[in-house]
Amino acid sequence: MGQNYEVLKIMEQGRIGEGGSFEKFYRHTIRTRGGTVLTVDIAESDFTAAKAGPILLARATEADKILAL
């Protein structure tokens, strides 16, 4: 884990959204540098390395800040 988090698993999932439309999303299970394991849901439109990376980094960083309280 050379960064602030490690991706443990990615699962493709779907749900019924507003107005009955089907929405696909990706559930990432990550482990932070501090050892916290959490899940982060990312919309299909954001499922690229360029977009998902900053989302995962922000969640991992915030989780480690909370852990340090």
* pLDDT at 2 exceeding the cut of 70: no
pLDDT at residue 60 in the model: 97
pTM: 0.87
Q: Which residues pair with 28 in a beta bridge?
A: 10, 40
Number of structural domains in the chain: 1
Tens digit of each residue's pLDDT (9 = 90 or more) over 14-58: 999 889 999 999 999 999 999 999 999 999 999 999 999 999 999
Residues 6+ apart with CB under 8 A from 59: 5, 30, 38, 40
pLDDT at 9 > cutoff 80:
yes
The residue with greater pLDDT, 12 or 19, is 12
In this structure, the number of other CB atoms found within 10 A of the CB of residue 60 comes to 22
Give the residue numbers spanning the domain of 50: 5-67
Instruction: Supply 29's token pair.
Output: 């299970």
